[in-house]
A and B are shown apart, each in its own frame.
Chain A
Amino acid sequence: MRELLRAVGRYLTWGDYLVIALVLLGAAATIPMVHHGTEASGRWAIVRLDGQIVHQLSLAQDQEVRVAGPAGETVIQVQGGRVRVLRSPGAQEICMRQGWIYKPGQALICLPNHVTIEIPGDSGIDAISR
């Protein structure tokens, strides 16, 4: 093995090393492109109003934000890496009763106020038929 390595070392010129270095550099440069197609995932919650992104909340930071929608104010709380809806207009209070979400792919939907909160990422499921 050592024999072989020494033989290879003798045979390669500085130009070969240059080409190898360039190819490796080029390969490294494409790594971000591989992930380009997939959505940004991580410890974030994306808040949308009428489909438009109005907040990107870091789950690492405890906070409370208010979103003014067509039916009133939706209050969103981030605590200990989780998100929930504290208050939102609507008789059924569906998005409040859903409680905390924290896994990628989970979402809270406050229909009456047109607000959605989503933790982006791949849950392995593309959609839910309900």
Chain B
Amino acid sequence: MRRVLFALKISIFVVLALSLVFLYLQGRVAVVYEEQYLLGTYFRIKAQSRSREHAQQAIREAFSEAQRLSEEFSRIGLGSLGELNRRGVSEPVQLSRDVFIVLEAAARYRQLSEGAFDHTIGKIIDLWGFTQEWDRAGVGRIPSDEELAPLVAEQREVFLDPTAKTARLANPAIEVDLGGIAKGYIVDKVVEILKKHELDRALVDAGGNIRVFNDRPRKVLWFEDRRPFRIGVQHPRDEQKIIGVLELWGDRALATSGDYQRCFFADALNNIFPCRYADEPDKIRYHHIIDPKTGQPARGLISATILAPTAMEADALSTAVFVLGEQKGLALIESLPNVEGILVTSDGRIIVSSGLKTIDFPTKLP
């Protein structure tokens, strides 16, 4: 009897002591969340690490890099991209390493999408009023055919010299706008820094341009706490709703292009009304995703969400697929490895690519 009770006593103590260790280890996780206003949008980083100071240090470094890059990629700023736009027609302009890498990538996506993604149409976008100052000014205009036609018809070529890291613009109709790709590149750079600091998991969100990594699941003794990141996909016609949730494991990026982000409405008399998610009766929506072949806002899709290995790829492809439309867009997605997509058509159908068929998404806009 004594021996049994002694064993009982010891085992109770062991269980209590173990649960103490368990609780202690579980408590040793810090989630740090910070946001900054950058690139005309909110840039958020949510990171998890063993210590708060460690995560904060990594986030500080990441934000200062993002800040530096956002100045580099301003198409009218003092960085080398601004330089290229100012004097690139007359002479080759020396580019910074980052700008050159993204310009090369942009040329690749332009070719891959047969011109649906096009970084040379800055002047056409300006005509519609979708400038960098859009958030403050906020009202666009409908350009006339006389204004648009010469810019659309022009051969817009950017000549790159990979050895000298210079670029030259073929003619004055070109203004290089990396808005559809640079944000993704910056998100990737930020993730690179967070990974260098060996954070456990993190989410970087630049205005809906998202990349997550889940490198080291939180471990409590032998128990691995594996959790995905849960990302909602915006409902294109109702700001308060999402059309579904994607669970992301490991290292993954996604981006959405939609006709509700920067837009305006015009009535029959061409009076302009502010952008909103819901459609306006008897008014036409004009938005910022311009089809380079027509100079007009792309029609057919109202939202395109792309899942890809990197944020830059997701960013560029979401624009390309939006412009390409349902059939060609879906074909492009299916032709690329590790790329998936969710498309919403203007008649409210939701189409998912082959790799997402197992995910529970509605087939029509709710």
Chain A positions within 8 Å of B, measured between CB atoms, are: 7-8, 11-12, 16, 19-20, 23-24, 26-27, 30-31, 33-34, 36-39, 48, 50-51, 71, 90-94, 97-98, 109, 111-112, 114, 116, 124-130
CB distance from A20 to the nearest CB of B (A): 8
CB closest residue in chain B, given A71: B136
Distance A116 CA – B52 CA, assembled complex (angstroms):
24
Contact of A91 with B139 in the complex, beta carbons under 8 Å: yes
Contact of B36 with A50 in the complex, beta carbons under 8 Å: yes
Distance A19 CA – B14 CA, assembled complex (angstroms):
12
CB closest residue in chain A, given B137: A91
CB closest residue in chain A, given B229: A126
CB closest residue in chain B, given A101: B240
How many residue pairs bridge A and B at CB < 8 Å?
129
Distance A109 CA – B276 CA, assembled complex (angstroms):
14
Distance A34 CA – B37 CA, assembled complex (angstroms):
32
List of 3 A-B pairs having minimum Cβ-Cβ separation, nearest first = A33-B27, A91-B138, A130-B234
Is B20 located at the chain interface by the 8 A CB criterion? yes
What is the interface of chain A mostly: helix, strand, loop, or mixed?
Answer: mixed
Distance A30 CA – B240 CA, assembled complex (angstroms):
38
Given contacts A37-B30, A129-B232, whether A16 and B9 have CB atoms under 8 Å apart is yes
Contact of B20 with A27 in the complex, beta carbons under 8 Å: yes
A31, A94, A125: the one contacting B230 at CB < 8 Å is A125
> B230-247 interface mask toward A, CB cutoff 8 Å, 1 = contact, 0 = none?
111110000110100110
Given contacts A11-B2, A50-B37, whether A36 and B30 have CB atoms under 8 Å apart is yes
Contact of A125 with B231 in the complex, beta carbons under 8 Å: yes
A24, A31, A127: the one contacting B232 at CB < 8 Å is A127
Distance A8 CA – B12 CA, assembled complex (angstroms):
13
Distance A94 CA – B278 CA, assembled complex (angstroms):
12
Distance A116 CA – B194 CA, assembled complex (angstroms):
25
Residues of A within 8 A of B139 (CB): 91
Q: Which residues from 2 to 34 on chain B have a C-beta closer than 8 Å to any C-beta of chain A?
A: 2, 5-6, 8-9, 13, 16-17, 19-20, 23-24, 26-31, 33-34
Residues of B within 8 A of A91 (CB): 136-139, 274
Contact of A11 with B5 in the complex, beta carbons under 8 Å: yes
Residues of B within 8 A of A39 (CB): 31, 33
Distance A26 CA – B48 CA, assembled complex (angstroms):
26
Distance A125 CA – B20 CA, assembled complex (angstroms):
30
Contact of A34 with B242 in the complex, beta carbons under 8 Å: no
Is B164 located at the chain interface by the 8 A CB criterion? no
Contact of B29 with A126 in the complex, beta carbons under 8 Å: no
Distance A98 CA – B239 CA, assembled complex (angstroms):
8
Residues of A within 8 A of B137 (CB): 91
Contact of A130 with B5 in the complex, beta carbons under 8 Å: no
